[in-house]
Structure 1
């Protein structure tokens, strides 16, 4: 199609941030870090390669995802441990913080709750920033590898993609039938995954993760959490996923309990204060 005469002028219009986040409630990172200094590891679970694990974290505790044997990415789902209808909302988290998360940023829950579920307090990969391809780590832009897309694109029946792994882990943790558990699985935080969008076509890309054994991502639980973490079948996601082709490693999840009174002055965030009337007057 022929470009309009003012095409260059239209493209040159400056962008506007959709959700300026200067007024977002700020986490008290100094308090969290002081509490983190005295924690004890009270529970450990492991997501085996191409499998997922589930874990519970009380509000006011921490959990840490650790690379233990080799470069490995993970897909993380979070729910309110007392109400599965409240769960991580990757789209709104992306709108509030950007495409990738790091220290001081939060995982927000879905409507009508819209409150912080977990706050990142440590990120050993925060040095990575954005590379020359526009890639960075810990993204909230990808969904999760799943058997439906694999079947659509390649006609496969692969059962150890992250969607299926998370479904099995949630079913095991809650006793829900598999179909009901699957309905609760949602878009993820792609822990340690290095991703971005191509500059020419705008396609979602992945590249080999910079994660190495000992690297970790530590979260503060703002509410009672049920989590599930899948050790992605893509391994470091440098070549392929949704198959058994990549070399994969386990991921460890540590539940960290602070000392008594370490969080004096902190309280779990309430649900969003919007009145939910949606403009309809009662009566």
Structure 2
């Protein structure tokens, strides 16, 4: 029988190991509030999280899915790589998991430090929360499936959110679906279930580098009403809720032995050599 062990592994103490005691101390230690705001329903917002800070997403007054994008604040070419994170971590993330960045950077952007839905585990249908399996809803698929235009899908919300930072639609990328319950059915197809979050539930992470983050409060709300197919003729607006965002500065005394991770060490040029200049000079 073929092994079902994780394909991507490192030796003990290697790059995939996490110093859990450190993140436990940071999560439980003193912190200084830096910023707090609420993202209204069916909208989006972007904000900065400096390295060494904690960011918490909160279901303010009811269950709500939030689609999260993450970039290097100083170079948006470095951003969340959802598919590699699925391989290096898992398809549904929780405490001590990391979100990894795209090539050629390949380093942790953030580490999850708190998750009040961690105990949800896997339900009878195989659903789990905080997924990297799917991506954001968008007006292009919506038009294809329904023949109608709608400008407040998560992709559009994220596009509007990042414009003040000089980013465009081309910078919006595959998301972490925070608070969303998903899985794969018997036919290996993606499914979504009602969001299990309740008022006050939260998902928190530690910024490993200076980050630009953005979320969309999904127009599907808690996803108790189908967005497409049978039953989707009901507008789920009454099941939509805002999401709170908090940014905290971790106690500097707890960070004395921590440093932002360096970009990937590979410098092999993919087996290519620099072309010769005219006259044979390199």
Q: Which residue of 2 aligns with 1:95?
A: 87
Q: Which residue of 2 aligns with 1:150?
A: 142
Q: Which residue of 2 aligns with 1:203?
A: 189
Q: TM-score with structure 1 length normalisation?
A: 0.89
Taking the aligned partners of 1:26 and 1:263, their CA distance within structure 2 comes to 18
Quote the offset at 1:13 in angstroms: 4.5
Identify if the C-alpha distance between structure 1 residues 15 and 259 changes in structure 2 by more than 3 Å, giving closer, same or farther.
closer
Taking the aligned partners of 1:14 and 1:26, their CA distance within structure 2 comes to 21
Quote the offset at 1:14 in angstroms: 4.6
Residues 1:106 and 2:98 aligned together = yes
Q: Deviations over 1:225-251 (max 9, x none)?
A: 000011111111122338843420000
Q: Does the residue aligned with 2:215 lie in a helix, a strand or coil? A: strand
Taking the aligned partners of 1:145 and 1:21, their CA distance within structure 2 comes to 34
Q: Does the residue aligned with 1:262 lie in a helix, a strand or coil? A: helix
Quote the offset at 1:16 in angstroms: 5.3
Quote the offset at 1:202 in angstroms: 1.2
Q: Does the residue aligned with 1:127 lie in a helix, a strand or coil? A: helix
- Written as runs of structure 1 = structure 2, the 5 A alignment for 1:218-233 is 218-233=204-219
Q: TM-score with structure 2 length normalisation?
A: 0.89
Taking the aligned partners of 1:207 and 1:259, their CA distance within structure 2 comes to 38
Q: Which residue of 1 aligns with 2:73?
A: 81
Number of corresponding residues: 266
Quote the offset at 1:21 in angstroms: 5.0
Using the TM superposition, name which of 108-117 and 242-251 deviates more.
242-251
Q: Which of residues 156, 160, 163 is equivalent to 1:164?
A: 156
Q: Does the residue aligned with 2:21 lie in a helix, a strand or coil? A: helix
Q: Deviations over 1:171-191 (max 9, x none)?
A: 03x1x3xxx510000000000
Q: Which residue of 2 aligns with 1:7?
A: none
Q: Does the residue aligned with 2:22 lie in a helix, a strand or coil? A: helix
Residues 1:29 and 2:20 aligned together = yes
Q: Is the 8 A contact 2:221 2:236 kept in 1?
A: no
Quote the offset at 1:259 in angstroms: 2.5
Q: Is the 8 A contact 2:23 2:96 kept in 1?
A: no
Quote the offset at 1:33 in angstroms: 2.8
Q: Which residue of 1 aligns with 2:277?
A: none
Quote the offset at 1:258 in angstroms: 1.7
- Residue segments in structure 2 that go unaligned for 5+ positions in a row: 275-281
Q: Which of residues 256, 262, 271 is equivalent to 2:248?
A: 256
Taking the aligned partners of 1:139 and 1:276, their CA distance within structure 2 comes to 33
Taking the aligned partners of 2:69 and 2:37, their CA distance within structure 1 comes to 15
Q: Does the residue aligned with 2:25 lie in a helix, a strand or coil? A: helix
